[in-house]
Chains A and B, each alone.
Chain A
Amino acid sequence: MKRSGSVIAVLGAAALGAVALSLATGPAAVPFRQVVDALFGGSATGSSAETAERIVLSLRLPRALLGCLVGGALSSSGVAFQALLRNPLADPYILGVSAGAAVGALTAALLLPGDAVLPLPFCAFLGAVLAASVVFLLARRRSGVSRERLILMGVIVGAFLNALIMLMVALAPPGKIPGAVYWLMGDLGMGTPRRVAVLLPYVAAGTAVLLLLSRGLDLMLLGDDAAFQTGLPVERMKAITYVTASLLAGCVVAVSGLIGFVGLIVPHGARVLVGSGHRRLVPAAFLLGATFLILADVVARTVSPSGELPVGAVTALSGAPFFLYLLRRNGGKP
């Protein structure tokens, strides 16, 4: 118990460190001193200091904060989906959430006139929630929602929506959706103060709900029957968890596209550090996810001399081998 408290404190410090690193790195060289001045209103004046202030405050800080929110939300959403499906291999995208979001965003990009940046995230969000609801309703039986049917329906709906995505990308008029393709790969480049402000309440509310329900999430690991007999209203708990986790994943997809592997791997790492008790696991996964995604974004921005990589490529490239390592270390049991 005591140990987990200090682990969470260390993870918090790591997240702050990652934000600091992110503020200090980028194509334009800004001395660390000027970064600090920009943040805390230092005394330095002059054009270089003003440029530095603009870069740090209006470009790098929103991007770092966006990384923090997106990484944290994906990870806590992953924790919730894994408890809901009693499967440590589940991730926030498993039930068609991502494909739904992508279809929503592409529809907006194709149908709406002009560059239509603002409705795009909202439509992605709508698509995610819609896909998640369809899957949930299809998986419902009189006796309740079974995990097996949820996964089966999620896979089927996801496959159908993925086919739609390919169709839309293939049939789109040239030049109509260049941003969308990049967005499909996962990208934090849309980090503006406004977006951070829009995302913040969703992520805060979703994570808070999961924290409040942490004891119920613990019980869900026992399976439906035992959880029910220990006093958990299982069907209600499943519905709330499902909606919350889909909202978290959906709102994040809306802003940053499909960033894979974070929601799958970070919960594993966090469990190794603090165990499966969700009261500690949810905050630990949030902080670890935030740190991981900010660092991945730093790599994505600096590794290629010709420009930025999509951060989703970095998370997948580093995530897949790490996941294999986890699988092998535990003798096939994640």
Chain B
Amino acid sequence: MSAALLSARGVHFRYREREVLSGVDLHVGEGEVAILLGPNGVGKSTLLKIISGLLSPGSGEVTLIGRPPASYGRREMARLLSVVGQEPPVDFPMSVEEYVALGRFPHQGFFGGMTGEDRGQVERALEMSELLELRARGLGEISAGERQRAAVARAVCQGAKVMLLDEPTAFLDIYHRVAFYEIVSRLKKECGIGALVASHDLSLCAEYGERIVLLSAGRVLASGKPEDVLTPGNIREAYGVDVTCDRNPATGAVRVTPLRKRNATEQ
């Protein structure tokens, strides 16, 4: 097991009466891309919020590079961990470049302006996300998918060691979905980051994820290599759908194909 950037042990969380997470264990190592899977409402976003310090767990513990999130100062933490969440729209005129540059905040003096280093990082993030041509456009003038790519670019230029991404490809076309995972792979290779990505894209996850964590009913149903986790039985139990799982002949990665619901009368 590589050095743990991020680990969660026995995390419980409840919203009022409803228990959302009942004992979740999770581990993301250096240079590892872990994918968090699970049906809508299973608590993926809640878990990410707990890890980023927005919510505190009812019980259990989270450590980020060996310490609990609450023990870090805000800016210190933001230099270690960047997050792409499900954000409300910005109702003010702001260009893509200005928006992306906000990611440099934890590296700047509180009152300070952009340094050459900051500008370089913004440039690199825009380039990686293929947003150079949209840099001067207003956030209100671009599509939901483009905004999502800008949010990823903002997190990239934050330059953190760990990235949490909550359904970062939800609005993306297939080209940009692949491009997103390429960005994460590149950061993994070049900077040794660890990433935890909540997603619903089973096949791409199998292609790019070293580890898959499948949540179901508040617990980790299965965790490990894609081929061990993505089985018809696990997917049936977590999502309630029938699938076939085979290998992609081109890459050898697990390929998950949903099956049409069979009607009882047709059988």
* A binding-site residues for B, Cβ under 8 Å: 82, 86-88, 212, 214-216, 218-219, 221-223, 225-226, 228-233, 271-272, 275-277, 279, 333
A225 to B78, CA, bound (A): 12
Q: How far is the CA of A232 from the CA of B52 in the complex (A)?
A: 13
Q: How far is the CA of A215 from the CA of B95 in the complex (A)?
A: 15
CB-based contact B98/A277 at 8 Å: yes
Whether A225 and B87, one on each chain, are in contact in the complex, defined by CB atoms closer than 8 angstroms, is yes
Number of A-B contacts (CB under 8 A): 80
* 5 chain-A/chain-B pairs, Cβ below 8 angstroms: A212-B110, A215-B111, A219-B102, A225-B49, A226-B83
| Bound Cα distance A225, B140 (Å) | 20
Are A271 and B92 neighbours in the complex by a CB distance under 8 Å? yes
A215 to B111, CA, bound (A): 7
B41-76 contacts to A (CB < 8 Å): 49, 52-54, 74-75
Contact assessment for A271 and B85 in the assembled complex, using a CB-CB cutoff below 8 Å:
no
Contact (Cβ within 8 A) B75 A86? no
Query: Do the beta carbons of A232 and B74 come within 8 Å of each other?
Result: yes
Q: A229-B83, A231-B77, A276-B92 are in contact. Are A218 and B102 (CB under 8 A)?
A: yes
Assess A230 versus B102: contact at CB under 8 Å? Given A212-B111, A221-B90: yes
Q: Give CA–CA (A277, B111) in the complex, Å.
A: 13
The reply on B108 being an interface residue by CB < 8 A is yes
Number of chain B residues whose Cβ lies closer than 8 Å to a Cβ of chain A = 34
In the assembly, what is the distance between CA of A218 and CA of B100, in Å? 12
Find out whether the CB atom of B54 lies under 8 angstroms from the CB atom of A229. Answer: yes
Min CB gap B175→A, angstroms = 26
A256 to B140: give the CA distance in the assembly, Å. Answer: 37
- What distance in Å separates the Cβ of A123 from its nearest Cβ neighbour in chain B? 35
Q: Is the CB of B105 within 8 A of A231?
A: yes
Name the CB-closest residue of A to B164: A229
Q: In the complex the two chains form, is A222's CB within 8 Å of B92's CB?
A: no
Q: Report how far A279 CA is from B108 CA in the complex, Å.
A: 14
Convert B140-154 into 0s and 1s, putting 1 for each residue whose CB lies closer than 8 angstroms to a CB of A: 100000000000001
Given contacts A215-B108, A215-B111, contact A229 B91 (CB under 8 A): no
Tell me which residues across on chain B come within 8 A of A229, comparing CB atoms: 52, 54, 78, 81-83, 85
Q: How far is the CB of A76 from chain B (nearest CB, A)?
A: 16
B106 at the interface (CB under 8 A from A): yes
Nearest-neighbor residue (CB-CB) of A86 within chain B: B91
Known: A215-B111, A231-B74, A333-B140. A223 touches B91 (CB 8 A): no
Known A-B contacts A215-B108, A230-B102, A230-B103; A88 and B91 likewise in contact (beta carbons under 8 Å):
yes
